[in-house]
Amino acid sequence: MAKFEEGLRYSESHEYIRVEGEYGYIGISDYAQHALGNVVYVDMPEVDDEVTAGEEFGAVESVKAASDLISPVSGTVVEINEALEDTPELLNEDAFANWIIKVKLSDPSELDKLMDAEAYKTICN
Amino acid sequence: MNRTLYGNLIFELSKKGRKGYSLPQDYDRTHTTAELPEALRRKEAARLPECDELTVVRHYTNLSHNNFGVNDGFYPLGSCTMKYNPIINEEIAGMKAFAGLHPLQPAVTCQGALEVYYNLQQSLAELAGLSEFTLNPCAGAHGELTGLMVIRAYHESRGDSGRTKVLIPDSAHGTNPASAAVCGLEVVEVKSLADGTVDVEHLRQLLNEMGGEVAGMMMTNPNTLGIFEPQVLEITEMVHEAGGLMYYDGANLNALLGECRPGDMGFDVMHINLHKTFSTPHGGGGPGSGPVGVREGLEQFLPTPRVNKVVVNYDGDNEPYEWIGYIIDWGTDSSLGSVGSFFGNFAVMLKAYAYILSLGSENIKQVGPLATLNANYIKECLKGDYLLPIGGLCKHEVVFDGLVDKSSGVTTMDVAKRLLDYGYHAPTIYFPLLFHESLMIEPTENESKETIDAFIDVMHKIAEEAKTDPELVKTAPHNTPIGRVDDVLAAKQPVTTYWKSIADS
């Protein structure tokens, strides 16, 4: 069964963001990695790239499908999780521990439009 | 095939210095490379396998025995991939009078071929309920691009250059947004309802927000779940009111063939995959063809060359007579011009036209209804064992969401692999993406009831095995030359070259 970690904000397209100060760590939910199956490739942006809420910033490819990554917030990429380049299966092992990009938020009010774990769980079921 | 004897790679059969050919002694091996820059020339010989002729022949003949196609057995991928290709199609396309033609030869010397070309344009127009067709695009996605270029040319011809957005349902084929992007248009996704059909309220909202920027909307009907869009007339009307054109993706036309027509549903531009609906080969097996049709008023934008019929009436000395000829039409300034080489894939068109003529105007009306009947029969027979997420009538294909009883952990992938053991080709799996365990079955109109019943029995049997012996299913296939492949490793570390045995030999 999929896990739903408390304290994160979730989007309808199954990304989460863990906010720490003015930064946010964005990844895919445990539910999403379950649905995708074995992840074989993660396409990530580059540091300093701009991301926009609701727009694609990369993709996750599994043996079943390639799925766009949609940014839950707007901001600037300050770090990418380079470990995913060679070991994308980390997303299957623990999707919450293995974030994909770290973003400096440009508009923290966008977080209000995202769901908490409880609301996200409802749409997944 | 005997794998012990013949299961080696061609590289493993290689013996250094062994050759199946001989070249003239004075053959100058540098002759063809002399003009290449030094940096691009090989420093060492390519590590090609070296075998005698008979070894090569046996190797590839044995490999070919591992092929499985629609001629070998039931193939539930249906028209989506390729339905049965009647033999007469090949006979006609292989006729010397057609096969020996050259695309540059004068029209006067190939009137028969041009007549066939013209008649196919007209037949497709009639079947689609549209005005004119171009046969030039060489595949479905090429047709999509051509159709979108027609739509863009239409808006530009009216001086309306602000229409840069294309509405595409989130359940659409992946080629739709790709074609729109290639055409320089921006994709706006229209949401689906739980049953996979277009969310008309969301469409209305999008049109209210950006109506003046909408170039058109692309739709597949029936959609990727095999469901006929019940509100298609309302959808086409709404988009037209907003000034956009409607594009029909003909990938699923097989379901409707002879029963209803895209033109009558309000579509303005469409492509037809001759290699799907009109029974020509496809899928690694040869060139496709994606003719594009338009409604009246858009003909002038179609690409060139086109073939037109000319009728001239003479007043003879004794009695009037009629001259019929076919000419190559290079269009007007409004035309998109050329979208490919010459006329498109003519041999494919011959096969499609042979198929249309073989069926005739009466029998062709049964294609859609029979394809629909077969898919619904399978749906009703299997829905006790396989989860049917959307009830009601489907069209030519039915989508299940894995097994009803998922407690044993047997997935759609496992079911598909187990089907191979029983001598069936696997159906489409994990598409459409609307469900997690999609299993899409399309039998087409060609299968007999006995064939379909035998397939249904096997599907029941696999569902039973999933309960009684899940490991058997999870480790399938067991009866094929190669067992379960490691698709994760294959995707992550694909080995696409082989040279070890050559280096060692």
- Give a three-class secondary structure readout of B371-419: HHHHHHHHHHHHCCCECCCCCCCCCCCEEEECECCCCCCCCHHHHHHHH
Same-domain check for residues B313 and B437? no
Among candidate residues B326, B347, B362, the one where a domain is terminated: B362
Rounded-to-integer distance, Cα B156 and Cα B298, Å: 12
Whether residue B503 is contained in a domain is answered as: no
**Three-state secondary structure call for residue B157:** helix
User: Percentage of chain B with pLDDT > 70?
Assistant: 95
**CATH architecture of residue range(s) A9-112:** Beta Barrel (2.40)
Mutation for testing the B interface, residue in A36, A61, A62, A63 having most B CBs under 10 Å:
A63
Please check whether residue A1 touches B, CB under 8 A: no
C-alpha distances (whole Å) from B501 to each of B19, B49, B298 are 16, 9, 60
Same-domain check for residues B301 and B389? no
Token pair 């991939």 in the structure block, residue? B81
Same-domain check for residues B332 and B389? no
Token pair 């064992």 in the structure block, residue? B385
pTM as predicted: 0.87
Q: What pLDDT was estimated at residue B498?
A: 73
Residue B132 reports pLDDT greater than 80: yes
Domain region containing B264: 88-362
Nearest-5° Cα angle at B314, B310 to B316? 155
Rounded-to-integer distance, Cα B249 and Cα B239, Å: 16
**Model confidence over A71-96: pLDDT tens digits?**
999 999 999 999 999 999 999 999 99
Residue B285 reports pLDDT greater than 70: no
- E strands along A1-125, which residues? 9-10, 15-20, 23-28, 39-43, 50-51, 56-62, 66-70, 75-80, 101-105
Pairing state between β B245-249 and B269-271: parallel
How far the first Cα of chain A sits from its last, in Å, is 11
Would you say A98 and A27 are in contact if contact means Cβ atoms under 8 Å apart? yes
Rounded-to-integer distance, Cα A114 and Cα B417, Å: 40
Whether residue B288 is contained in a domain is answered as: yes
**Model confidence over B17-54: pLDDT tens digits?**
898 887 777 665 556 667 788 888 888 888 888 999 99
Residue in B closest to A66 by C-alpha: B433
Among candidate residues B323, B343, B362, the one where a domain is terminated: B362
CA Rg, chain B, in Å? 26
**Three-state secondary structure call for residue B70:** coil
Select from B431, B436, B487 the Cβ nearest to the Cβ of A35.
B436
Q: Which residue type occupies B138? A: C
**B19's tokens:** 């050759």
Number of A/B CB contacts below 8 angstroms equals: 19
Same-domain check for residues B410 and B333? no
Q: How many of the other CB atoms lie within 10 Å of CB of B330?
A: 11
Residue A26 reports pLDDT greater than 90: yes
Rounded-to-integer distance, Cα B135 and Cα B168, Å: 25
Residues 6+ apart with CB under 8 A from B494: none
User: Percentage of chain B with pLDDT > 90?
Assistant: 71
**Model confidence over B84-95: pLDDT tens digits?**
999 999 999 999
Select from A35, A63, A67 the Cβ nearest to the Cβ of B491.
A63
Whether residue B435 is contained in a domain is answered as: yes
Chain centre to alpha carbon of residue B332: 31
Residues 6+ apart with CB under 8 A from B435: B389, B399, B401, B402
Q: What pLDDT was estimated at residue B284?
A: 58
Contact list, B487 vs chain A (CB under 8 Å): 38, 63
Same-domain check for residues B396 and B332? no
**B219's tokens:** 């739709």
B491:A35 CB<8 A: no
Please check whether residue B488 touches A, CB under 8 A: yes
Whether residue B505 is contained in a domain is answered as: no
**Model confidence over B159-215: pLDDT tens digits?**
999 999 999 998 888 899 999 999 999 999 999 998 889 999 999 999 999 999 999
Contact list, A61 vs chain B (CB under 8 Å): 491
Mutation for testing the A interface, residue in B199, B429, B487 having most A CBs under 10 Å:
B487
Q: Which of residues 77-106 of A touch B (CB under 8 A)?
A: 88-89
Would you say A42 and A26 are in contact if contact means Cβ atoms under 8 Å apart? no
Pairing state between β B165-169 and B132-134: unpaired
Residue B313 reports pLDDT greater than 50: yes
Select from A40, A65, A88 the Cβ nearest to the Cβ of B430.
A65
Q: What is the DSSP letter of B225?
A: T
Q: What pLDDT was estimated at residue B405?
A: 96
Q: What is the DSSP letter of B235?
A: H
Rounded-to-integer distance, Cα B410 and Cα B413, Å: 8
Token pair 């209000």 in the structure block, residue? A112
Q: What pLDDT was estimated at residue A70?
A: 95
Same-domain check for residues B358 and B373? no
B158: left (phi over 0), alpha (psi -120 to 50) or beta: alpha
Pairing state between β A50-51 and A75-80: antiparallel
Pairing state between β B165-169 and B186-190: parallel
Q: What is the DSSP letter of B109?
A: G
Would you say B129 and B336 are in contact if contact means Cβ atoms under 8 Å apart? no
Would you say B265 and B239 are in contact if contact means Cβ atoms under 8 Å apart? no
Token pair 């894995």 in the structure block, residue? B402
**Three-state secondary structure call for residue B175:** helix
Q: Which residue type occupies A40? A: V
Residue in B closest to A85 by C-alpha: B492
Res. B495 pLDDT band, cuts 50 70 90: confident
Among candidate residues B362, B388, B419, the one where a domain is terminated: B362
What sign results for the dihedral spanned by CA atoms B284, B285, B287, B288?
negative
Q: Which residue type occupies B382? A: L
Rounded-to-integer distance, Cα B297 and Cα B415, Å: 50
Please check whether residue B487 touches A, CB under 8 A: yes
Q: What pLDDT was estimated at residue B505?
A: 46
Same-domain check for residues B295 and B171? yes
**A16's tokens:** 């989460």
Q: How many residues does chain B have?
A: 505
Same-domain check for residues B350 and B281? yes
Same-domain check for residues B378 and B296? no
Q: What is the DSSP letter of B294?
A: E
Rounded-to-integer distance, Cα B239 and Cα B228, Å: 18
Please check whether residue B43 touches A, CB under 8 A: no
Mean per-residue pLDDT for B383-412? 95
Q: Which residue type occupies B35? A: E
Number of domains within chain B: 2
Same-domain check for residues B126 and B237? yes
B28 vs B13, more confident: B13
Res. A10 pLDDT band, cuts 50 70 90: very high
**Three-state secondary structure call for residue B269:** strand
Please check whether residue A30 touches B, CB under 8 A: no
Same-domain check for residues B195 and B333? yes
Same-domain check for residues B189 and B308? yes
Q: For residue B24, which phi and psi values (nearest 5 degrees)? A: -55, 145
What is the average pLDDT score of chain B?
91
Select from B433, B436, B488 the Cβ nearest to the Cβ of A63.
B488
Dihedral angle computed from the Cα positions of residues B323, B329, B333 and B335, in that order, rounded to the nearest 10 degrees: 130
**Model confidence over A42-60: pLDDT tens digits?**
999 999 999 999 999 999 9
Would you say B289 and B124 are in contact if contact means Cβ atoms under 8 Å apart? no
Q: Any idea what the CATH number is for the domain that residue B225 is in?
A: 3.40.640.10
Q: Any idea what the CATH number is for the domain that residue B379 is in?
A: 3.90.1150.10
Mean per-residue pLDDT for B92-104? 94
**Model confidence over B203-251: pLDDT tens digits?**
999 999 999 999 999 999 999 888 999 999 999 999 999 999 999 999 9
A40:B436 CB<8 A: no
Mean per-residue pLDDT for B363-384? 96
